[in-house]
Amino acid sequence: MSVLVETSCGNFVVDLFTEECPNASLNFLKLCKMKYYDGVLFFDVQRNLWLQSGDPTGSGAGGESVFPSKYFKDEITRSIRMDKKGLVCMASHGKDMNASQFFITMRGSDLEYLDGTKTIFGEVVEGFEETLMVINDAHVDDAGRPYRDFRILKTHVLEDPFPDDSIVTIKPSRETVESRIGYGEEVDATKGRSEEEINKSIMESEAKSRAVVLEMVGDIPDANMKPPENILFICKLNPVTEEDDLEIIFARFGTIRSCEILRDKESGESLQYGFIEFETEIQCREAFYKMNNVLIDDRRIKVDFSQSVSKLWNKSAMKSRRPRRMLSNSACDKSSHKSSDHHEPSHRSSRRDEPSHRSSHRDESSHRPSHRDEPSQKSSRRHKSSHKSSDRHEPSHRSSRRDEPSHRYSRRDEPSHRSSHRDESSHRSSRRHRSRSPCHSSHSVDDSRKKSKKHHKKRKL
């Protein structure tokens, strides 16, 4: 038992499984005989999954069966499974709620989850690639409806084994969705329009395309940007004409925000054109109507509305730069906070090292020699004590190299080391002198001792 289905994009033939699914086959055949499916939309197209139709309303919520109870029960058999392309199945509202809606599978794998839930009552044997694949590849909206309407035009029953007794005649309900452009229909945009309207629409479309190109190139920030309507463009000026002259002449039309004559960057000479910005658009229009072809400085000027968007471009550029500056300043603040937090422990460690400096001062003061000792003994003891204190407190000096007091204290200590080295060298030289010259008198030895004592007294003072 077969049915030929004519659609707006071609035909396909369906063979019915009358033995496995008698009720579903009978329902489909009788609906086709009643011309119930004529003009019905393919309202749900899921690419490479299924195509759904059979609802006269086109919304997916309508449809009736030929049985008196409006719905009939599911007819599920184990011999027929969802493993082929082109299977015709009932699209039910729930369990045992089959009416007139059906769907056609567009793939033969990953459909096992539908086994045991849907009634499979037929199979497409002709026209799958030529007709159904065209609908499958159509562009659809978010709800799955194609942007071009694909409809079932007519249905032809080739053979019907079921009698027509006990069948309820059904009238299909009206379509509730808005109709769209049909498949294969030509769209004439100029139909019912005058030449002026057509030319105007063509010019607008060309202007939009040019603006999009300029936006892509980077000449304008936005394709929908329009030039300001309160700026007047002036050309064919005399090179002698200045901005002040134009302000005096055009001030009678209203307040002028800015007046600028463009000049050469190198020579500074006038390029004989400029811009005048008024406060309102009405003032700009009055100046345009009354100042065109006016004689200024022996030159007839030309006035027109400005088509430049340079000021708007500069504003958009400044807006895009401001967030970056703010971000850079905030980044600098964050980095400064991080650096201060990072160096806090080092400041704490230097404060902790302060007691070690004090202890070093105390230790050195305790190791100072008494005044009764001889000069050579004083210098040697001082030298030894300084070495001992430095050996004891080396870690504290290393940790406090950044502190200024430690550097000052070490500089004060340097003369004592130098003096001690000088005293020792002088003492050794005197000994050598004695050993080398045994014939020296005792007066020379006494004089040298007196001189050394005087030298130490002066150094103490």
pLDDT at 166 (0 to 100): 66
Q: Which of residues 400 and 192 earns the better pLDDT score?
A: 192
Can 2-157 and 231-311 be said to share one CATH topology?
A: no
226-279 confidence digits (pLDDT tens): 778 889 999 999 999 999 999 999 999 999 999 999 999 899 999 999 999 999
When pLDDT is cut at 50, 70 and 90, the band that residue 149 belongs to is very high
In the chain, % of residues over pLDDT 90: 44
* C-alpha dist (Å) from residue 80 to 93, 98, 101, 102, 112: 21, 18, 20, 17, 12
Average per-residue pLDDT in the chain? 76
**Tokens standing for 6?**
């004519």
When pLDDT is cut at 50, 70 and 90, the band that residue 4 belongs to is very high
Distance CA 321, CA 316 (A): 9
pLDDT at 5 (0 to 100): 95
41-60 confidence digits (pLDDT tens): 999 999 999 999 999 999 99
**Tokens standing for 1?**
């038992």
pLDDT at 314 (0 to 100): 58
Statement: the pTM of the whole predicted model exceeds 0.85: no
- pLDDT exceeds 70 at position 36: yes
pLDDT at 41 (0 to 100): 95
When pLDDT is cut at 50, 70 and 90, the band that residue 169 belongs to is confident
Distance CA 208, CA 204 (A): 6
12-26 confidence digits (pLDDT tens): 999 999 999 999 999
Distance CA 351, CA 227 (A): 66
pLDDT at 150 (0 to 100): 94
339-364 confidence digits (pLDDT tens): 444 444 444 444 444 444 444 444 44
pLDDT at 449 (0 to 100): 63
pLDDT at 128 (0 to 100): 94
Q: Is the dihedral of CA 235, 241, 247, 251 positive or negative?
A: negative
Let me know: does 55 contact 65? Beta carbons within 8 Å.
Answer: no
In CATH, the architecture of 231-311 is: 2-Layer Sandwich (3.30)
Give the start-to-end residue ranges of the domains of the chain: 2-157, 231-311
Question: Which runs of consecutive H residues, i.e. helices, occur in 13-100?
Answer: 22-33
State which CATH number among 2.40.50.140, 2.40.100.10, 1.10.10.10, 3.40.1400.10 fits the domain covering 2-157.
2.40.100.10
When pLDDT is cut at 50, 70 and 90, the band that residue 159 belongs to is confident
Phi, psi torsion values for 231, nearest 5 degrees: -115, 135
Distance CA 173, CA 57 (A): 6
pLDDT at 369 (0 to 100): 43
Planar angle of CA 77, 80, 85, nearest 5 degrees = 145
How many residues are present in the chain? 461
Q: Which of residues 416 and 125 earns the better pLDDT score?
A: 125
315-337 confidence digits (pLDDT tens): 555 555 555 444 445 444 544 44
Distance CA 356, CA 263 (A): 74
pLDDT at 223 (0 to 100): 76
When pLDDT is cut at 50, 70 and 90, the band that residue 395 belongs to is very low
